[in-house]
Amino acid sequence: MGGVGAMVKGASYSYAVFCGSFLRSPRLSFSIHNKKKKLLKFRSFSSKSTCSSLQPPDVSRLAKTAQISLTPDEIEEFAPKIQQVIDWFGQLQDVDLQSVEPSIRAETENNLRDNVPETFDHRDAMIGAVPSYEDPYIKVPRVLSMD
Amino acid sequence: MILTLQTPRPLSRLPRFLPFSTNASITLNQSQPATCTSPPPPYSQILSTRHSLLSRQFSAADLLRSHLHRLNLTEPHLRSFLHLPDPSDLLAQADSLDRRIAAGEDVGPLAGVLVAVKDNICTADMPSTGGSRILEGYRPPFDATAVKRAKELGAIVVGKTNLDEFGMGSTTEGSAFQVTANPWDLSRVPGGSSGGSAAAVSARQCVVSLGSDTGGSVRQPASFCGVVGLKPTYGRVSRFGLMAYASSLDTIGCFGSSVADAGILLHAIAGHDRFDATSSNQDVPNFLSHFVSASSFESKPLKGLRVGLIRETIGDGVDAGVISAIHSAASHFEELGCSVNEVSLPSFSLGLPAYYILASSESSSNLSRYDGIRYGNQVYADELDSLYGSSRANGFGSEVKMRILMGTYALSAGYYDAYYKRAQQVRTIIRNSFTEALNQNDILISPAAPSPAYKIGEKKNDPLAMYAGDIMTVNVNLAGLPALVLPCGFVEGGTAGLPIGLQMIGAAFGEEELLRVGHIFEQTLENCRFVPPIIAEDIAS
């Protein structure tokens, strides 16, 4: 398995090498996604397209979905790194996966326990861990309706 | 720079390492550091401990004090532990054990054995932070099943070890609290995410330890720290009480200074658990029967074993020193009677992006439970969404935030097919390629990592560079297979060389074979003991 372009010495080249092999596979075809933002290139490996409907990651929006309040500095710091990794994920688009069944996990048996309720012995310890508790309620602030 | 610990000599009555069996000859391999005169390794510190306790040679309290002494000397330099209990609590457990032994009672196979536990594994009597500020100070209301079982068999939990936050990372620099140093070279990382557990065993601060392996987090630190790391088959050990990172990939694994020790610990914790619906009903074989003295081996003890060396792991991108160590290991297998062939795993390199898609996606879901409401640290706000947002922003570190965001992206409506589903399909391909290879071979071998331990700070700002180091390990998690890493050689670096680990991969639920083969390989390796310089003075006896 060869490397893509020049083998760059240093910490990151091994990744480029390992990803190199099937990026150069001749039977693959791909189109360059027409992105509004400037594509970030990682060494000599440029971002490949996904389906043209996939927008690049919008970190602010993702943070809202994930319920993490990022500072503007964090958004600026994370965006290029996330972009880089998502681009790297994109290489799976070019692999022929027709008629391959997805695996949820390694094979495991179907082990269900009986549907019988049990009492948890350490209820006090569990309640003790709640930051804001007023027996018997877990206190939360008001929930605003979405605007 | 050699760190010499100028210490008052420990009292002569405190036990040192107890050699149980000896190999007659020691020859130095070409890749060994020049000076190495220590005797060959005992084949099991756990079995030696048991022998000493039952023959009243030493007491459990003595053994505990000896380890605690070493732990206290080394800990300021290593920072393996996030939490250490009051020594008097531990002494009370040791004293109680000594009384039971004196009374002639039966004691479990782990009696008096000091076990360190990675801090993402719940312990009711000690804080469990997952390496994260969001759980700083959190005390779980229960023990993880693996911890419970170890304690029932007599183990003494000596402390909670450092890790990359929630298991996300490969250097332990991702901990919210401290950076653990590699006992072989204090300027280097111990690996991750179970870096603290690996360093603690490597520096003999404890006897064995528990870690978790989702993408290599037991095997890679084992390689970097020169200890044995065992990742069981998915489903072999209950995940109940392991803070979930990627539920289809997570396993609890074992560290030891010998294959036998890792195997004995695995035997103690493995087996079906009704609290983990993915835990297997498969019987746990008696691994212990294989941990026999080398003097009882035949001349070609592994005759007929078919060993497949994975071609894609010894090519470009792998350190020359690592490749050389693996080739030496292959020669050693041949000397033991194996037939070693190269085997190619098609699509090997696809595993890395597939793994990171699956792991980020599953982690974004698993970490949504940390909302500051029922447990963990809360940042109060007047309105619920802000409370969630602030608590999580304040509590999570950067790597965790990024992985959650990447996972959120990959699972967004309309993107599932492009990323997560494709990654699951790649998972099928990889599983099938392993199955095929394990039909032709009894075990597969590869390096555990493409390089020895990195310098602290080397991979800090380059996520893809860090992910690249996991290339040897992630496919095993995707396929759910068991793997054993054991130290097989050194490369230059540090003051006494840097250890290199050999990874052995077996068929599903094939831990018995891995342990049998690994034990024989280890006991016949004409080599130095893998004892890091920081404690070499203390151990040499």
Q: Which residue of B has its CA nearest to A49?
A: B418
From chain A residues 23-62, the ones with a CB under 8 A of any chain B CB are 42, 50-51, 53-54, 57, 59, 62
> What pLDDT does residue A57 have?
87
A131: distance to nearest CA of chain B, Å? 6
**Would you place residue B528 in the very low, low, confident or very high pLDDT band (cuts 50, 70, 90)?**
low
Residue B514 forms part of a structural domain: yes
Catalytic residue among B118, B148, B151, B160: B118
Residues B379 and B482 in one domain: no
User: Taking all residues of chain B, what is their mean pLDDT, rounded to a whole number?
Assistant: 91
Residue B309 forms part of a structural domain: no
Q: What is the 3-state secondary structure (H, E, C) of B190-221?
A: CCCCCHHHHHHHHCCCCCEEEEEECCCCCHHH
Mean of pLDDT values over B7-25? 34
How far is residue B307 CA from its own chain's centroid?
23
Q: What confidence tens digit (pLDDT) does each residue in A30-47 have?
A: 333 333 333 333 333 334
Residues B55 and B122 in one domain: yes
Pick the last residue of a domain from B359, B394, B418: B418
Residues B105 and B200 in one domain: yes
Q: Is there a catalytic annotation at residue B193?
A: yes
Residues B180 and B258 in one domain: yes
> What pLDDT does residue B21 have?
31
**For residue B443, what are the contacts with CB-CB under 8 A and spacing of at least 6?**
B305, B306, B307, B308, B504, B505, B506, B513, B514, B517
Residue B471 forms part of a structural domain: yes
CB A19, CB A88: distance < 8 Å = yes
Rounded Cα distance between B181 and B455, Å, is 10
Residues B79 and B220 in one domain: yes
How many Å is the Cα radius of gyration of chain A? 24
Please choose, from the candidates B215, B95, B218, the residue with its C-alpha nearest in 3D space to the C-alpha of residue B146.
B218
Mean of pLDDT values over B506-528? 92
Residues B71 and B124 in one domain: yes
User: Highest mean pLDDT: which of A28-37, A51-60, B16-25, B101-110?
Assistant: B101-110
From chain B residues 84-103, the ones with a CB under 8 A of any chain A CB are none
**Tokens at B484, concatenated:** 């054993």
Residues B297 and B171 in one domain: yes
pLDDT at A147 > cutoff 60: no
Helix (H, G, I), strand (E, B) or coil at B309: strand
Q: Do A106 and B380 count as a contact with CB atoms less than 8 A apart?
A: no
**Would you place residue B42 in the very low, low, confident or very high pLDDT band (cuts 50, 70, 90)?**
low
Please choose, from the candidates B200, B191, B194, the residue with its C-alpha nearest in 3D space to the C-alpha of residue B231.
B194
Strands lying side by side in the sheet with B251-256? B81-83, B156-161, B114-118, B208-213, B251-256, B228-231, B483-491, B498-505, B443-447, B306-310, B339-343
Q: What is the DSSP letter of B15?
A: -
Which of A7, A69, A86 is the closest to B406 by Cβ?
A86
Mean of pLDDT values over B140-147? 97
Residue B53 forms part of a structural domain: yes
Pick the last residue of a domain from B389, B418, B447: B418
**For residue B110, what are the contacts with CB-CB under 8 A and spacing of at least 6?**
B46, B150, B153, B154, B155, B264, B265, B268
pLDDT at B451 > cutoff 70: yes
Q: Do A111 and B423 count as a contact with CB atoms less than 8 A apart?
A: no
Q: Do A101 and B141 count as a contact with CB atoms less than 8 A apart?
A: no
B350: chain A residues, CB-CB within 8 Å: 22, 91-92, 95
Q: Do A140 and B387 count as a contact with CB atoms less than 8 A apart?
A: yes
Which of B402, B454, B479 is the closest to A106 by Cβ?
B479
Q: What confidence tens digit (pLDDT) does each residue in A84-139 have?
A: 999 999 999 999 999 999 988 766 677 777 889 988 888 999 999 999 999 999 99
pLDDT at A48 > cutoff 70: no
Pick the last residue of a domain from B418, B440, B474: B418
pLDDT at A20 > cutoff 60: no
A91: distance to nearest CA of chain B, Å? 8
Taken in order A111, B417, B432, B244, the sign of the CA dihedral is negative
Which of B381, B422, B508 is the closest to A92 by Cβ?
B422
Residues B169 and B83 in one domain: yes
> What pLDDT does residue A54 have?
73
Rounded Cα distance between B354 and B349, Å, is 9
Q: Is there a catalytic annotation at residue B217?
A: yes
Rounded Cα distance between B163 and B183, Å, is 15
Residues B77 and B173 in one domain: yes
A62: chain B residues, CB-CB within 8 Å: 405, 408-409, 412
- B/e letters for A15-25, b = 16+ CB within 10 Å, e = fewer, are bbbbbbbbbee
Mean of pLDDT values over B515-519? 97
pLDDT at A1 > cutoff 60: no
Which of B139, B277, B423 is the closest to A112 by Cβ?
B277
Which of B138, B467, B479 is the closest to A15 by Cβ?
B467
Residue B294 forms part of a structural domain: yes
Which of B398, B408, B424 is the closest to A103 by Cβ?
B424
Residues B102 and B234 in one domain: yes
pLDDT at B17 > cutoff 70: no
Q: Do A108 and B234 count as a contact with CB atoms less than 8 A apart?
A: yes
pLDDT at B37 > cutoff 60: no
Residues B467 and B412 in one domain: no
Mean of pLDDT values over B377-390? 95
Q: Which residue of A has its CA nearest to B138?
A: A129
By DSSP bridging, strand B114-118 and strand B208-213 are parallel
Whether A95 and chain B come into contact, CB under 8 Å, resolves to: yes
Residue B526 forms part of a structural domain: yes
**For residue A11, what are the contacts with CB-CB under 8 A and spacing of at least 6?**
B454, B458, B459, B462, B465
Q: Which residue of B has its CA nearest to A126?
A: B141
Q: What confidence tens digit (pLDDT) does each residue in B309-360 have?
A: 999 999 999 999 999 999 999 999 999 999 999 999 989 999 999 999 999 9
Mean of pLDDT values over B160-166? 98
B38: distance to nearest CA of chain A, Å? 35
Range of B399's domain? 351-418
Whether A116 and chain B come into contact, CB under 8 Å, resolves to: no
Which of A54, A84, A130 is the closest to B464 by Cβ?
A84
Rounded Cα distance between B213 and B448, Å, is 13
> What pLDDT does residue A35 have?
37
pLDDT at A28 > cutoff 50: no
Catalytic residue among B48, B128, B193, B446: B193
Taken in order B263, B267, B268, B272, the sign of the CA dihedral is positive
**Would you place residue B223 in the very low, low, confident or very high pLDDT band (cuts 50, 70, 90)?**
very high
Whether B471 and chain A come into contact, CB under 8 Å, resolves to: yes
> What pLDDT does residue B468 have?
94
**Would you place residue B536 in the very low, low, confident or very high pLDDT band (cuts 50, 70, 90)?**
confident
Region class of B519: left (phi > 0), else alpha (psi between -120 and 50), else beta: alpha
Q: Is there a catalytic annotation at residue B401?
A: no
Whether B415 and chain A come into contact, CB under 8 Å, resolves to: yes
Residue B314 forms part of a structural domain: no
> What pLDDT does residue B52 have?
93
Residue B497 forms part of a structural domain: yes
> What pLDDT does residue B537 have?
76
Mean of pLDDT values over B197-222? 98
How many domains is chain B built from? Answer: 2
Q: Do B124 and A131 count as a contact with CB atoms less than 8 A apart?
A: no
Mean of pLDDT values over B105-113? 95
Mean of pLDDT values over B129-136? 98
The CA-atom distances, in angstroms, between B490 and each of A44, A109, B73 are: 33, 41, 26
Residues B83 and B202 in one domain: yes
Q: Do B383 and A142 count as a contact with CB atoms less than 8 A apart?
A: yes
**For residue B6, what are the contacts with CB-CB under 8 A and spacing of at least 6?**
none
Whether A131 and chain B come into contact, CB under 8 Å, resolves to: yes
pLDDT at B64 > cutoff 70: yes
CATH code of the domain covering residue B178: 3.90.1300.10
Entry pTM: 0.87
Helix (H) or strand (E) holding B159: strand B156-161
B381: chain A residues, CB-CB within 8 Å: 141
Q: What confidence tens digit (pLDDT) does each residue in B258-281 have?
A: 999 999 999 999 999 999 999 999
